[in-house]
Amino acid sequence: MSIENYTLVERPHGSCWLHNDKPVWIVEYCASRVRPRHWQTYKAIHKVPKDRDPWSIDNRRLGHEDGVATLEEAIALGDAA
């Protein structure tokens, strides 16, 4: 598990940590009245075309649907994908 496997990238609707070798990315969600701050790991389920971002195609959450409490936990999910 290592942050070195990821690059912080800017998207139109916020930044995310994009895996350097896999169609996997991690998004931080700020706390709300309903949920605490959490991290969610996603993976594209189809091959990502060369001119597309992985979040622009069909994807799935990894791990628990409520996400995880730390970036480290999210990275472990992404590295294991």
Distances (CA, A) of 6 to 16, 34, 36, 40, 56: 9, 29, 24, 14, 18
- pLDDT value, residue 64: 87
Q: How far apart are the first and last CA of the chain?
A: 12
Q: Which domain holds residue 13?
A: 3-80
Beta partners for residue 10, in sequence order: 15
- pLDDT value, residue 2: 81
- pLDDT value, residue 21: 96
- pLDDT value, residue 1: 65
Phi, psi (rounded to 5 degrees) for 28: -95, 130
pLDDT, tens digit only, all 81 positions of the chain: 689 999 999 998 899 999 999 999 999 999 999 989 999 999 999 999 999 999 999 999 999 889 999 999 999 999 999
Number of domains in the chain: 1
